[in-house]
Amino acid sequence: MLRGTGSGSRAGWVRPRRANPGRLKAMVKGKYAALAKAGDAGASCCGAVSAASGEIACFSEGYSGLEGHEPAADLGLGCGLPTQSADIRPGNTVLDLGSGAGNDAFVARSLVGESGRVIGVDMTEAMIEKAERNRAKLGHANVEFRLGEIEALPVADDSIDVVISNCVLNLVPDKAKAYAEIRRVLKPGGHFSISDIVLSGPLPERMRTVAALYAGCVAGAMVKSEYLFAVLGAGFKDIRIDKERELAIPDAVLAEHLQPEEIRVLRLSGARILSITLRASKG
């Protein structure tokens, strides 16, 4: 049973608030455009980096050895391996949300085979261009990348067998609309497998609103129970968490955004940042 967290506010602690959608989208688009143009795979990560010490809180799981993995498309921006739980089958049509340079799309392509199809959607033009260069190099005729936003997918109704996404939905301001779009494009009986960042409880407001942490997949995250209720509210069924792990941010990274006492309170609170891989079916 899904249960609420009772996340009433305490001194310095707040429930998540919806920030200005336009400002957040512009910030995320700018951040990921810069990452796309940076060049080297693995030079970035879904996490936070200390400018002072260079210490990294990187949340990506290793793709090495996974069939279809293309190192040039792996920017280290994920927080899970959604294709492992997606039950993708030969001939399926798969949609990858926030497809970036194409990493998960190419892994999905290895599973759908020549008879299937993979569509990647990303709102950053530079990422689409990078993904297309990678696709052309690999020669995958049944993979395509489309420019668009998750809240208004450039995809037909009831046309997708499986939706995947890796550490992207938490960056979308209107998650209810995003999941409604996912449900719209899925075929009857279709399902999604999405890796994302959630919180075990509310985080300090200052930590939530720091732009560097937001673009690094932390401060845009929802409390876990609220996230699950958003999925349930969109009409999905058979909701389950296939994988969950805690993601730790080093004190050296936090120290650039929070005072020592705030870090101490954060650690004492027990609030945790989690990566979950969530699966659900279209009801």
Closest CA relative to residue 99, chosen from 171, 167, 179, 21: 167
**Is residue 127 within 8 Å of 99, Cβ to Cβ?**
yes
Within 8 A by CB and 6+ apart from 22, the residues are none
**How does DSSP classify residue 12?**
T
Chain segment 209-237, per-residue pLDDT in tens:
554 555 556 656 889 999 999 999 999 99
Beta bridge partners of 281: 191, 237
Chain segment 119-139, per-residue pLDDT in tens:
999 999 999 999 999 999 999
Question: SS3 letters for 128-164?
Answer: HHHHHHHHHHHCCCCEEEEECECCECCCCCCCEEEEE
Tokens standing for residue 218:
């932390």
Reduced to 3 states, what is the DSSP secondary structure of residue 24? helix
- Top-confidence range, 72-76, 240-244, 247-251: 240-244
pLDDT at 134: 96
- Give the count of beta carbons closer than 10 Å to the beta carbon of residue 14: 15
- CATH code: domain of residue 178: 3.40.50.150
pLDDT at 207: 65
Chain segment 10-57, per-residue pLDDT in tens:
233 333 344 566 766 776 777 777 777 775 444 455 665 555 655 555
Q: Is residue 10 part of a domain?
A: no
% of residues, the chain, pLDDT over 90: 51
- Rounded CA-CA distance 94/96 in Å is 7
- Give the count of beta carbons closer than 10 Å to the beta carbon of residue 115: 9
Tokens standing for residue 177:
């609309």
Q: Which residues of 146-182 are buried (b: 16+ CB within 10 A; e: fewer)?
A: eeebbbebebeeeebbbbbbbbbbbbbbebebbbebb
Q: Is residue 230 part of a domain?
A: yes
- How many domains in the chain? 1
Q: Is residue 76 part of a domain?
A: yes
- Rounded CA-CA distance 212/222 in Å is 17
Q: Is residue 12 part of a domain?
A: no
Amino acid at 81: L
Could you list the residue range(s) of the whole structural domain that residue 223 is in?
Answer: 21-282
Among the residue ranges 60-74, 98-112, 146-160, the one predicted with the least confidence is 60-74
Write down the mean pLDDT value for the chain: 82
Task: Give the mean model confidence (pLDDT) for residues 260-276.
Answer: 85
- Give the count of beta carbons closer than 10 Å to the beta carbon of residue 139: 7
Beta bridge partners of 120: 96, 145
Q: Is residue 3 part of a domain?
A: no
Task: Give the mean model confidence (pLDDT) for residues 177-201.
Answer: 95
Give the confidence band of 190 by pLDDT, cuts at 50, 70, 90: very high
Q: Is residue 5 part of a domain?
A: no
pLDDT at 213: 59
